[in-house]
Amino acid sequence: MADRVAPMLQRLRRCCLELPEVIERPSHSAPTFFVKGRKAFVTAWLQGHHGTTFPHLWCAAPPSAQAALVDAMPSKFFRPPYVGAKGWIGIRLDGKVDWSEVGDLCAQAYWTVAGPVTRSRGVPPRP
């Protein structure tokens, strides 16, 4: 498992750190990406967490996205503990990972959290 963590984290960093005003710092011992250093939008549990043994992400999501994704693909998406009540989604990374899709989900998480804050600084949303 450890040999898979570093490449996954490297790819995740490419997805998140390309977005405006993003920093990475640990939160609850996990790599977490924040907008303007204050609002988390993605947390990486690459060695599992809270009883799970598979690598996964927790991502902020717009209203109703969680239910739609979990209903459509329960083998890939799940309602994570703690933040699931706020609409966040869990994304499994233990199969073949489509990093383009992960990048899109991270960008969507970013804009869910950062939208008004970042737009007020003149940064347009990613299409």
User: What is the CATH number for 56?
Assistant: 3.90.1150.30
> 58 in a domain, yes or no?
yes
The pLDDT score that the predictor gives to residue 12 is 95
- Residue 70's SS3 state is helix
Is residue 80 scored above 50 in pLDDT? Answer: yes
* Boundaries of domain holding 48: 2-117
Task: Give the model's pLDDT for residue 127.
Answer: 45
User: Mean pLDDT, to the nearest integer, of 58-63?
Assistant: 94
Mapped onto helix, strand or coil, the DSSP state of residue 41 is strand
Contact 90, 56 (CB under 8 A): yes
Q: Looking up tokens 């609850």, which residue turns up?
A: 28
Domain count, the chain: 1
